[in-house]
Chain A
Amino acid sequence: MEKLKLNETPVRTSRNYNMNNIKLENIEIPAKIPSFNNVQITGNNSKVSIDSQTSKINLKYGLNKKLLEQLDLYANQKLKLTIDNKTNKETIINFKLDEKEPILLDNIEINANEQTNATVIIKYETTKNVKAFHNAVIRTNAKKDANINIILINLVNLSTDNFISIQNNFEENSRINYTIVDFGGKSSVTNYYSNLVGDNSDNQMNVVYLGRENQLFDLNYIGELRGKKTNFNMEVQGVLRDTAKKHFKGTIDFKKGCKRAKGNENEVCMLLSDTAKSLALPMLLCSEEDVEGNHSTATGKMGEKELFYIMSRGFEYKEAMKLMVRARFNEILDNIKNGEIKNEILQEIDSKLD
């Protein structure tokens, strides 16, 4: 059992606020990493080549040194995707952790070549009662004019610890749409870093999270705008019930030289109980004049008027609540074009709200 300190913010603030990092107690980091084979790769994309020749892990941020080192040395799934197709096709990578294989250390590297266009769906799930451990690094390199959709879905159970480190690099005119559905985990800790170096590069980041019982989400999302006319847009919609808790740390960092860059950050958290906790630190850092940066956050309970309206149409409370949560998430979930997967997520929403 260890105490883990991870997910440091790019800028420190007073220690009393408990925002500089997260300290997790009683985390069992497996010392021995067995093999993991329960991965399914499907889809209609014939121009994706997949091998295990991932490069050395060298992240600017990442969750912490130890977890990254573990991945570098002992990853039991290494996937390097090289994307070459010009029309948008889909690749689905589905990991399932179970009693036999409860430990997954996956190192995923997505290289999208110039002018390519593709969707990659990465899904993590567990069997119902397994106490699993998941540590992942997902790196994406978008070359010139590449246009990539990445959809990351975390549906692991509430006994599992889920750690994900993400880094994206952008060349000129490239675009990554990153959609994260963060539902599972006893603690789900994500570090997301986009490095928008190429001029005109664009990162749309959309996140939904839904917490129940004692779940903890620690979300540290960082966008650095370096190239001219770069654009970073972060939209985070969350719902917390019971004693669930989330720490949101969102940073938009306008670096010198990012003339005419734009950064937007919108974080909305709906609290469904008076014991759910929402802690947020939406940062705007700016060293360039000719930019536009906005952030907004809002926290509160479900709109009573809307709730009343829906219930007056014959829906009972729970149904009405589900409807409203779905409505919140809908815009973001619309990014998921795969009907089957989207359905699975909608069902998960319903079951988490039961």
Chain B
Amino acid sequence: MKTQVEEINRNIYDIKNKDEYDFKIKKGITKEIIEEISDQKNDPEWMREFRLKALEVYNQLEMPTWGPDLSELNMDEIATYVRPKTKLNTSWEDVPEDIKNTFDKLGIPEAEKKSLAGVGAQYDSEVVYHSMKEDLIKQGVIYTDMETAIREYPELVKKHFMKCVPVTDHKFVALHGAVWSGGSFVYVPKGVKVEIPLQSYFRLNSPESGQFEHTLIIVEKGASLHFIEGCSAPKYNKVNLHAGCVELYVKDGAYLRYSTIENWSKNMLNLNTKKAIVGKNAQMDWVSGSFGSKISMLYPMSILNGEGAKTEYTGISFAGKGQNLDTGFKVVHNAPNTSSVVNSKSISKNGGKCTYRSLVRIKENAKNSKSSVSCESLMLDDFSISDTIPVNDIQTDEVEFSHEAKIGKISDKAIFYLMSRGLSEEDAKAMIVRGFAEPIAKELPVEYAVEMNNLINLELEGAIG
């Protein structure tokens, strides 16, 4: 039997606006270009120096020697800074019509009204909209764009900026350090529980350009937050680059859930870096849905530094024609009684390639730690690829570690069972695929679960669910 699940419906995401901008830097990465970005952005001196230092590191580091082939990426062809024709706004009314329309179609203002406590929206290299509910402001929660944060909370930013993810981590982090622009800054004071999620949405419209937003979140002791990140771009013929960086500080007893629905266009190289430092008895949960991009290399990481710290990763990737999604999770157990749970799923179809690549490292001092990993891969045809490449590094004996992985196709028996109840073959397969993705969908807020299901486009809407 041949499986046919519809291609992801991208109509909404593919709407291109004219490449209009206030300023677009010339292509390439040189000292002059970095200095010009710094000038354009009115950086404080320390940031200017930081960028130049990062550039030096970038020039020294080599490209990854593993994973997807990145040879089509030519940094001389990428404009790393594109400032849209608007300033930062706090009301959608003030956002220029074409940009606002884009976010309307993506459902952002609507979601803000219905289910979010705050929203940030970035268009190309700058944040064009930021707003948060009044009561959170009163409780001392800060949610703003990174540029404002640098101006208004310089000490807080300086203390944390690229300390969790140092520029020496890898080449694209160094690049990010040199050219970063936009992104969100969140600070949740001690004990404050933000009950409704905050969301930042990143939209890259400009062709042959890159987006390098920086997200920095600090959740203080005993506080909690759910942060959602969405991203998309219309499709162009030449490659675009996304090399964002997410740094999360989850202090003692705090809770942070970081959800991502990534739906970049299929000309995007998504080389993103996300890392969390998790304190004593704190918990960091990742929910990650990867659907878009031509190539993704994305491995969120939790460093469990405090005793009793916990982390969970729930991820799904869906690779179709021409896509190579190399994703996974990394966790370092660096204190006693820490625990991690990983649940990863992937679907490969129509020649797409999914790779699950991971690291579980339990260090010698992490006595009584637990880690359990489960990954499942579904092959929907015989010309797609699915690889599982997990590294498990166990350095002490007082641990419980287990890893399970499965690979295979949709069971013919299950299809027959559902068909015997009157479902067509397509419906039966779609239902099984949707059931396969369900553990991830249920981790997402309802609107996003719906968006994910739309993305899989199983056309079961209304009938099921």
Chain A in direct contact with chain B (Cβ < 8 angstroms): yes
Of the four ranges (under 10, 10 to 19, 20 to 34, 35 or more), the interface on chain A belongs to 35 or more
Which of A13, A256, A259, A286 is close to B391, meaning CB atoms less than 8 Å apart?
A: A13
Q: Are A297 and B402 in contact (CB under 8 A)?
A: yes
Which residue from chain B places its CB closest to the CB of A278 in the assembled complex? B394
**Given the complex of chains A and B, what is the CA–CA distance between A292 and B412 in angstroms?**
13
Interfacial residues of chain A within 225-258, with CB under 8 A of chain B in the complex: 254, 256
Q: Are B405 and A294 in contact (CB under 8 A)?
A: yes
Report the minimal beta-carbon distance from B60 to chain A, rounded to whole angstroms: 15
Q: Are A14 and B381 in contact (CB under 8 A)?
A: no
* Number of residue pairs A-B, CB distance < 8 angstroms: 137
Number of interface residues of B (CB under 8 A): 40
Q: Mark B371-393, 1 if CB is under 8 A from A, else 0.
A: 00000010111111111111111
Residues from chain B with Cβ under 8 Å of A269 in the complex = 394
Q: Are B387 and A11 in contact (CB under 8 A)?
A: yes
**Given the complex of chains A and B, what is the CA–CA distance between A290 and B379 in angstroms?**
8
Q: Are B394 and A279 in contact (CB under 8 A)?
A: yes
Q: Given contacts A284-B405, A288-B382, A289-B409, is CB(A299)–CB(B392) below 8 Å?
A: yes
**Given the complex of chains A and B, what is the CA–CA distance between A290 and B359 in angstroms?**
28
**Given the complex of chains A and B, what is the CA–CA distance between A300 and B405 in angstroms?**
18
Residues from chain B with Cβ under 8 Å of A32 in the complex = none
**Given the complex of chains A and B, what is the CA–CA distance between A291 and B386 in angstroms?**
12
Quick check: is A37 within 8 A (CB to CB) of the other chain?
Answer: no
Q: Mark A175-200, 1 if CB is under 8 A from B, else 0.
A: 00000000000000000000000000
Q: Are B407 and A293 in contact (CB under 8 A)?
A: yes
Q: Are A295 and B404 in contact (CB under 8 A)?
A: yes
Residues from chain B with Cβ under 8 Å of A19 in the complex = 391
Q: Given contacts A272-B397, A276-B397, A291-B407, is CB(A13)–CB(B385) below 8 Å?
A: no
Q: Are A271 and B397 in contact (CB under 8 A)?
A: yes
Q: Are A293 and B397 in contact (CB under 8 A)?
A: no
Which residue from chain B places its CB closest to the CB of A290 in the assembled complex? B409
Which residue from chain B places its CB closest to the CB of A287 in the assembled complex? B385
Residues from chain A with Cβ under 8 Å of B101 in the complex = none
Apart from A271-B394, A281-B390, A299-B402, list 17 A-B contacts with CB within 8 A. A12-B67, A13-B389, A15-B66, A256-B383, A274-B397, A279-B394, A280-B391, A280-B403, A281-B389, A281-B391, A282-B403, A284-B387, A290-B409, A295-B405, A299-B399, A300-B400, A301-B398
9 A-B pairs with least C-beta separation: A271-B397, A293-B407, A12-B66, A289-B382, A284-B388, A301-B397, A280-B392, A289-B379, A299-B394
| Interface positions of A (Cβ within 8 A of B) | 11-15, 17, 19-20, 254, 256, 259, 269, 271-301
